[in-house]
Amino acid sequence: MLDSIDIKNFKTLKDIRLTSLVRVNLITGKNNTGKSTLLEAIAIYASKAELTFLNQLLRERGEPFKQGDNIKNALESNIKTVSSFFSDRNVGFDVKDAISIGSVEKTLFGEEPSTEKSISIRFVRFFEEMIGPENESTGPIRRRRTIIDHPIDQMLVDYKVGLELRIGNINYILALEDERPFRFGFRGIGVGLGFQFIRPRSIDSDSNVKLWDNITLTEREQFVIDALRIIEVNAERIAFIEEGPRERIPVIKLSTNNNVLPLKSMGDGINRILTIILALVNSDNGYLLIDEFENGLHHTVQEQLWKIVFHLAQVLDVQVFVTTHSEDCILGFEKVLNSGNYSSEGKLIRLDNVNGLIKQVEYSANELKIATDNNVETR
């Protein structure tokens, strides 16, 4: 579980450090304060900068790679696309310009980003050489890419431009002159951590099918049924059945009806809960990231859903990060946080834009109760 995170030069988060993260973290703030960006940063950290996920983020943000008709055009297009990850779209080649995402550790000089665990992403100049074995029959020819940081060396070498992805002493250089640089090769630095990322208004049928298949015939099926009963108290069983070629849809069996009903016919709320709980029960020992928790959910069900989220997060050892704009979502969160044994398990983090820098204000369980009781704006 992350107890801290330090982020530099990633989109709107130029320099932010959260040092007291807990199991369930609710993130609020006005538009363009970096709430969704914070979730993306955590997902990049969890995936160990896996290329497919980075490419997915670019496409979701409307930053697709455009194929050029020559190497120069492809390089310019790719640099422009990848620069969207960096604050102010800065294309800088210095180490200080790098995106850094990682935990914080205590050192002799105070709290510093962990060099062994932090993800670093930066533009680099590099040269490429082919390395062969001593004996041609003993192995394949390998390609080695070497970063050139010194200005004099850059004048002497016919260098290329790439993107370096690094954690500790392990790195990978992505050549940006390729028309589709994220298509092949690098699958992440080391072993990524498990996480599920739910976007606003996300009801992804294909993802839900895979997540359901992961828990079929286990006790986690009952966790899903119990959650669906927040809206439909007579929910008895669910399944995913084939509706057409390569398409399966969720159906529900009610205790009061012998017929099997399509879950889609029962509204967005119950389908949103299905998506959230399926993601949660598939995030054990990892992270659940939910952007705009309240979407599709009436205010009367949110407190009940929070109870399930807190409970399952404890049982399955999941760390949860959620964004919201909703006062009802915050009120439901506060009530659950201050009931039972959850007071140390959750907190609210509000992000504010202060002269172009994103700063945080944090509320403990007791502070959040005082704020909500006195109608203090926490959004």
| pLDDT tens digits for range 182-214 | 765 555 555 556 899 998 865 666 789 999 999
pLDDT confidence of 376, banded at 50, 70, 90?
confident
Query: In the chain, which ranges are E strands?
Result: 5-10, 13-18, 24-29, 99-102, 104-107, 110-113, 119-131, 142-147, 160-167, 170-175, 195-198, 235-244, 247-254, 260-262, 287-290, 319-323, 346-354, 357-363
CB contact burial 10-30 (16+ within 10 A = b; e otherwise): bbbbbebebeebbbbbbbbbe
Residue 198: helix, strand or coil by DSSP?
Answer: strand
Confidence (pLDDT) at 67: 60
Query: ∠ CA 42-319-113 to the nearest 5 degrees?
Result: 45
Residue 121 burial (C-beta neighbours within 10 Å; 0-12, 13-18, 19+): buried
The share of the chain scoring above pLDDT 90, in percent, equals 60
What is the rounded average pLDDT of the residues 263-275? 92
Tell me if 368 sits within 8 A of 331, measured CB to CB: no
**How would residue 102 be classed by pLDDT, with cut points 50, 70 and 90?**
very high
CB 263 within 8 A of CB 294: no
pLDDT of residue 158: 82
What's the predicted TM-score (pTM) here?
Answer: 0.90
The Cα 35–Cα 31 span in angstroms is: 8
- Would you say 145 and 173 are in contact if contact means Cβ atoms under 8 Å apart? yes
Task: Provide, for the chain, the percentages of residues in helix, strand and coil under a 3-state DSSP scheme, each rounded to the nearest 5.
Answer: 35, 30, 35
Kindly list the domain boundaries of the chain, sorted by start residue: 51-175
Task: Calculate the average pLDDT of the chain.
Answer: 88
Q: Label residue 169 by pLDDT band (50, 70, 90).
A: confident
pLDDT tens sequence across 82-95: 999 999 999 999 99
**169 CB-side CA count, 13 A:** 0
Model confidence at 71, pLDDT cuts 50, 70, 90, reads low
Using one digit for the tens of pLDDT, what is the confidence trace for 290-336?
A: 999 999 899 999 999 999 999 999 999 999 999 999 999 999 999 99
Least confident of 42-46, 178-182, 340-344: 178-182
pLDDT at position 135: 59
Q: What value does the mean pLDDT take over residues 241-260? A: 89
